[in-house]
Structure 1
């Protein structure tokens, strides 16, 4: 072989060796990119890891880091450090979205940015071009079918005389408790601007209510250990109780269904917007959308087929979804602290 031919071949081999990693990198579009997102913790984050993060890393190389925390604390931190965000994506419920939007820490995006947004069901994207709705959790009346007769049919049944010392409900210092108050008001002739009917029921239920646990984990324990027999609870947590052997029935209340939607948002100043949009699109895919329903039985927000899961999910049809009550989240959150304070006074009086 002539020296010139050897040099040409050698140079070609060297270029191929250099090009190979580059070709591989092109195949994994977001190799080397890591995005941070606040997590809800436990089973919830594990479900998203399996249904969203892992498939996305396999197809694009993008890594997602879930950081369990409090969404309200994350929003406050983002606002105080505007321009230097500690996370790239923010998960937050409907009730917290107005604060995040007003704080100027979220980016807008639409169907042209993430095509799977077109699959979101009507009415589930409540805040215009902010956030991708991906899960819906409902607060419902519940009761132990072995110990409570007759069945509960409404939120206001927590005041029934036969439930003395048997009721657990949401705490007064959280929007979960305020949602129960709104259900009690609207179901009995009141409204967000006339909450008196709710507080009359709370006063009547005072001797029934033995606990307003600070967390859903603590409340789940109250039901599964028999301390509480009836009350209000998250639909997904009620399923968890049934799965563990406690016959805790989920009630479709006559007042309607009161629910919060969980959103994933792109934080303004996100390190890689294109990668964040890829996360959103995977989240709204069939695999991503079914991750939370499979693990916790909270409802989806798209047209994904539920199959056998449908029987365990509260909002599993257009007819059920039509029972979901609309809430003016901005006005609701502005009035919430005052509602909680009055609820505490009623329970202590």
Structure 2
């Protein structure tokens, strides 16, 4: 793999996470990090051998040595930075979602296409080895024609109210991962969405305009049905499970635990709780996604999780919110990228 020089835009938790994972790849050089405030980052950058810190992300775009940028800034900035990065001929890794607006996302993707650069969206769960194994089994026909998809995704505790107010809502912030996973596992577009949601954990989340508990049902173009359940609080840990049921059988991926030991005694049967936090659960997936991005850029291949994948997940999220507000199913028309209410 040829050497790839990258810059990181946004040095919050996810930006720093990507830095540490990129440092594991010998062919990657991190030249610069930008953030709105960098004075507190000096020691951190020095410890990781990053020579350039700047408050202006456009410095990274103007640097001819930088081959690719990682956009880890707030979602409201993503689309504009993507367009500027594409114009500067930089390859792009962007955290999800691309934006909170389907129209803005489509504009950004148009800029990417016009300038001939690569854009990978950060749906890291595609790179989880367990979910990928389910995907491969489905694609190879091992379970026959898929009929039912089930996805469970429950956080160990709710986010802060400050985060809730700027997150874009549960469907766009949390369940968007599951919408992408649904398309990935079944290799089929979602054509209808029906959503139900409520507040069962904290009324303040509702006062902030969001929900904390939701169930969404999906209809796919290939005839399969799907159901996704989300909760902002699972007291036993980070609950992440998928199942695809088909004509020849079923493929399931269970929770990851610190050990696989199961203890059986007269009093009962016990095993370890699921891993508690997403950084624990998906460490290897995060590493694999940036490794694959770097390899793609180095070797000139197309990324495996494209801007279109990001767009389609956003469209499903938007349809779910529409369904929740209107109290009826919402159809997705893939012929013209528009969302229309089911009559």
Query: Is TM (by shorter chain) over 0.5?
Result: no
Q: Which has the larger radius of gyration?
A: 1
Name the one with the larger strand percent: 2
Name the one with the larger helix percent: 1
Higher relative contact order (CA 8 A, sep 6+): 1
TM-score by length of 1: 0.34
